[in-house]
């Protein structure tokens, strides 16, 4: 594998202990006990013939996502809900290339997760993970996104510092608005605080194992396959538009500073000419000299303000490129994106030194 040599443990992902409503998880409020309970209810404990793991519900009628290695060769794994109910699941579809499986249990009115967008993640962002480490069912832990777009064997992962333990593979990584954005999948062998989650977009993009489920289900009911696909293709130019917005903001700041500089220089020249007059009294001369000094200080601060605006722009572009690199649609551009990131880092160092 790559430098970190992550291994595909058959039962992996996060730690720390915490502990049915039939509503969808609410994503409009900040964290609350009710929302955490719903998130735990929307997660499931999976027991196959040879391993333990985690999964999560993406519909009220029992569709479940997990890692393929969690169920191994068992096409009828046992699903245990938080309230103790047990079901024999049916394997609906799997994609071994990205280690994803779609299961189904015969149940109704279940809590389930809204589907988020892994493309929007950024380094330093807070996340929550749910799993069953070492069989300790329905454990919740907090962490941050460490890196977006870490490529391992041709697949882009979300790197996180959330603790990984046997039993957590297949569990949901969720944002603070309780949308699932990734699936806990890998841990770096022999390393602490380095684990990897598969972006949820792999499951729901065109051709993904769950493209007709979750949030896209409404559009699929209309019989239009193009609707779900358009949901992804419509984002293709979002990075370009965002980059243009940042560039426009920087350009406006530059123009404003240029105009401010012109006004300062004009006033400086005006006061210098006044000082040439022999009719000025001592107090008046001192007042003009003080004002000249103020204008010179203001003018010198303009370059600092411009530098701050440029650094802010570079940081915005850096974040955008990291998100784009984590977008599976742009995996063919990784080398180009890395060059751009290196160039931005060089520019930042020059401006900050």
Residues marked active site are found at 69, 99, 169
Per-residue tokens: 115: 């589907």
Interhelix angle for 238-275 vs 282-325, to 10°?
170
**Residue recorded with tokens 């006990």:** 33
Q: Is 16 exposed, middle or buried (0-12, 13-18, 19+ CB in 10 A)?
A: middle
CA 329, 118, 102: angle at the middle one, nearest 5?
Answer: 85
Q: Residues with Cβ < 8 Å from 287, sequence gap 6 or more?
A: none
**Helix 282-325 vs helix 334-352: crossing angle, to nearest 10:** 160
Which of the 8 DSSP states describes residue 24? P
Cα separation, 12 vs 198, in Å, equals: 13
Are 68 and 96 a contacting pair, CB within 8 Å? yes
d(CA 27, CA 31): 9
Contact between 70 and 48 under an 8 Å Cβ cutoff? The reply is yes
**Length of the chain (residues):** 353
Classify residue 190 by burial, with Cβ atoms within 10 Å: 0-12, 13-18, 19+. exposed
d(CA 200, CA 181): 5
């Amino acid at each position: 594998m790559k430098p970190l040599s992550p291994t595909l443990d058959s039962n992996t992902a996060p730690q720390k202990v915490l502990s049915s409503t039939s509503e969808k998880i609410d994503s409009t409020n900040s964290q609350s006990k009710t929302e955490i309970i719903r998130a735990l209810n929307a997660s499931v404990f999976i027991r196959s013939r040879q391993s333990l793991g985690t999964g999560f519900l993406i519909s009220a009628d029992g569709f479940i996502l997990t890692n393929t290695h969690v169920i191994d060769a068992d096409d009828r794994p046992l699903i245990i809900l938080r309230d103790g109910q047990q079901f024999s699941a049916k394997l609906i579809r799997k994609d071994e290339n990205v280690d994803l499986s779609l299961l189904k249990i015969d149940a109704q009115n279940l809590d389930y997760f809204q589907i988020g967008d892994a493309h929007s993640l950024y380094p330093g962002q807070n996340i929550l993970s749910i799993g069953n480490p070492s069989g300790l069912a329905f454990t919740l832990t907090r962490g941050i996104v460490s890196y977006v777009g870490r490529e391992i064997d041709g697949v882009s992962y979300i790197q996180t510092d959330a603790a990984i333990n046997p039993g957590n593979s297949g569990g949901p990584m969720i944002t603070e608005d309780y949308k699932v954005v990734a699936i806990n999948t890998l841990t770096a062998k022999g390393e602490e605080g380095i684990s990897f989650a598969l972006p949820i977009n792999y499951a729901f993009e065109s051709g993904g194992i769950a493209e007709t489920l979750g949030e896209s289900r409404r559009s699929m009911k209309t019989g239009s396959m193009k609707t779900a696909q358009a949901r992804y293709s419509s984002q293709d130019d979002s990075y370009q538009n965002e980059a243009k917005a940042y560039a426009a903001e920087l350009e406006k700041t530059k123009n404003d500073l240029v105009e401010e500089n012109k006004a300062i220089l004009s006033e400086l020249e005006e006061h210098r000419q006044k000082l040439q007059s022999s009719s000025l009294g001592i107090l008046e001369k001192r007042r003009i000299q003080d004002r000249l000094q103020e204008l010179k200080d203001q003018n010198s601060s303009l370059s600092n303000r411009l530098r701050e605006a440029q650094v802010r722009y570079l940081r915005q572009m850096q974040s955008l490129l990291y998100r784009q690199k984590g977008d599976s649609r742009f995996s063919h551009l990784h080398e180009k994106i890395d060059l751009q990131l290196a160039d931005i880092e060089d520019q930042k160092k020059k401006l900050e030194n």
